DNA sequence: CTGTATCCATGCTGATACTG
DNA sequence: CAGTATCAGCATGGATACAG
């Protein structure tokens, strides 16, 4: 099912402003969607995931992984070796979210500029820079 | 574009556990998706929206409406009458989220039971009832 | 009717440091 | 390598009461 060779994850796979508290669409908690996307091509190790998600601390990454595991989205496999190796992999339930994530990305590509324009316009009318409400700028 | 007559919104339009901090999919802030669904058939007044969303305080409802207005999802129209009347209506940008919301609902119908099963199984294995991670029960 | 004001509880998130 | 522990900060969300 996977490509012949699995590419390493790029450090700049995600835009620095992703997630920026911006996108009106959220899958799971703040980092869950990014993890799911990272696992799309096949199983990954903790340290592999840290590369594209270097803006998240290990604690936060662990929390995200545990929540996803608890909800049946990913599996966690410990290989009893030295050095220790742990692999995370999407379940079919986890894969079922990929379509939704793709739909969210498509919405953002198409409509996020309109949203940002509305926000700027509103800020001018009210003179307020406005905190983060429900949506904002995305990658 | 609207039906010939617009039905009043039902007080039990939403399941009491909606949103229960459960659903893995969130549109905007906690209440935004519910407001958007309420406005699907046409403009509604503040007090109309309070009926199905009686679990949210007026402050929270106002916050949600303001955020949606700021982001260009809805318009707010004040009718200078006595008694005062204010109507909220979806913009085309707001309507663009309806498809996404529908997709989220379909996902929940199809996969939420699996998620809850996984969560129960995990709770048994670990003996922990586990707080709200990223997902949970939905309407 | 349509909101505002104030105060408070919670929880997510993060920085920093340490361990099997 | 793969986490865990501890502490702290800020935003969100909510109860209650009041106002234009």
Asked, for residue A48, whether it belongs to a domain, the answer is yes
**Which pLDDT score is estimated for B133?**
47
Rounded to a whole number, what is the distance in Å from the CA of B127 to chain A's nearest CA? 12
Which token pair is B56? 């949210």
Taking CB atoms and an 8 Å cutoff, what residues of chain B touch A117? 72
> In angstroms, what is the C-alpha Rg of chain B?
17
Over residues B70-85, the pLDDT tens digits come to 999 999 999 988 888 9
Residue B43 CB-half CA count within 13 A = 12
Asked, for residue B54, whether it belongs to a domain, the answer is yes
CA B40 to chain centre: 11
Does residue B20 contact residue B55 with C-beta atoms inside 8 Å? no
Over residues B101-116, the pLDDT tens digits come to 999 999 999 999 999 8
Asked, for residue A29, whether it belongs to a domain, the answer is yes
CA B85 to chain centre: 23
Rounded Cα distance between A96 and A51, Å, is 24
Nearest-CA neighbor of A32 among A6, A63, A57? A63
Asked, for residue A4, whether it belongs to a domain, the answer is no
Residue range of the domain that includes B71:
24-97
pLDDT at B131 over 90: no
Asked, for residue A68, whether it belongs to a domain, the answer is yes
Asked, for residue A83, whether it belongs to a domain, the answer is yes
Q: How many domains does chain B have?
A: 1
| Percent of residues, chain B, with pLDDT higher than 70 | 86
Rounded Cα distance between A131 and A58, Å, is 28
pLDDT at B132 over 90: no
pLDDT at B53 over 60: yes
Cβ–Cβ of B93/A69 closer than 8 Å? no
Asked, for residue A56, whether it belongs to a domain, the answer is yes
Residue nearest to nucleotide C14 (CA to C1'): A57
**Which pLDDT score is estimated for B135?**
44
Å separating the CA of residue B119 from the C1' of nucleotide C20: 27
CATH code at A34?
A: 1.10.10.10
């Amino acid at each position: 099912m996977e490509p012949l060779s699995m590419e390493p994850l790029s450090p700049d796979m995600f835009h620095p402003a992703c997630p920026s508290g911006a996108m009106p669409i959220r899958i799971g908690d703040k980092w869950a969607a990014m993890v799911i996307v990272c696992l799309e091509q096949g199983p990954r190790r903790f340290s592999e995931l840290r590369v594209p998600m270097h803006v998240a601390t290990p604690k936060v990454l662990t929390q995200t992984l545990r929540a996803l595991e608890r909800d049946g989205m990913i599996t966690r496999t410990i290989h009893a070796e030295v050095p220790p190796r742990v692999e995370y992999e999407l379940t079919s339930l986890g894969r079922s979210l990929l379509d939704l994530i793709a739909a969210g990305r498509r919405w953002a590509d198409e409509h996020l500029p309109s949203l940002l324009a509305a926000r700027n316009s509103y800020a001018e009318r009210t003179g307020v820079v406005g905190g983060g409400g429900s949506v904002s700028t995305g990658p």
